[in-house]
């Protein structure tokens, strides 16, 4: 299960401390990469009047600056969407991962 850390940066001194840490400690410890997102809609079915169940496969791949590509995560996304007055609204989203162990990446910009 992913872990999230929260920090309170409520004053300029703390923000300067964070910037110093990134510039002095993190410098050279990360690999620059580009991500690619692939989404495939599998099924869309009306579950109740105006409510739809949508299932999609997804995959996120990253390519390092050196040109090597690797899979970050794969799975399916199960959405509930309402449609009223010609406007669709996402009501819920559940991502079910096939990938059991994700690579150790400092920051993943993950959009499904």
Is residue 63, in this structure, part of any structural domain at all? yes
Per-residue model confidence (pLDDT) at position 85:
93
pLDDT per position as a tens digit, 62-105 = 888 888 898 888 999 999 999 999 999 999 999 998 877 666 55
Per-residue model confidence (pLDDT) at position 35:
87
Tokens of 57: 């496969």
Say yes or no to pLDDT of 106 above 60.
no
Containing structural domain, residue 55: 32-97
Q: How far is CA 85 from CA 7, 82, 109, in A?
A: 42, 10, 33
pLDDT per position as a tens digit, 2-24 = 444 566 677 888 888 888 887 88
**Number of structural domains the chain divides into:** 1
Is residue 12, in this structure, part of any structural domain at all? no
Give the residue among 101, 78, 103, 102 at the shortest CA–CA distance from 91: 78
d(CA 15, CA 27): 17
């Amino acid at each position: 299960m992913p872990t999230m850390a929260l920090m309170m940066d409520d004053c300029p001194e703390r923000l300067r401390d964070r910037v110093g840490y990134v510039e002095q400690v993190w410098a050279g410890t990360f690999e620059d990469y580009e991500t690619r997102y692939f989404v495939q809609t599998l099924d869309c079915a009306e579950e109740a009047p105006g409510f739809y169940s949508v299932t999609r496969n997804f995959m996120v791949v990253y390519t390092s600056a050196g040109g090597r590509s690797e899979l970050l995560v794969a799975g399916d996304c199960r959405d509930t969407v309402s449609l009223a007055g010609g406007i669709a609204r996402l009501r819920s989203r559940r991502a079910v991962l096939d990938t059991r162990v994700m690579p150790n990446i400092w920051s993943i910009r993950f959009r499904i």
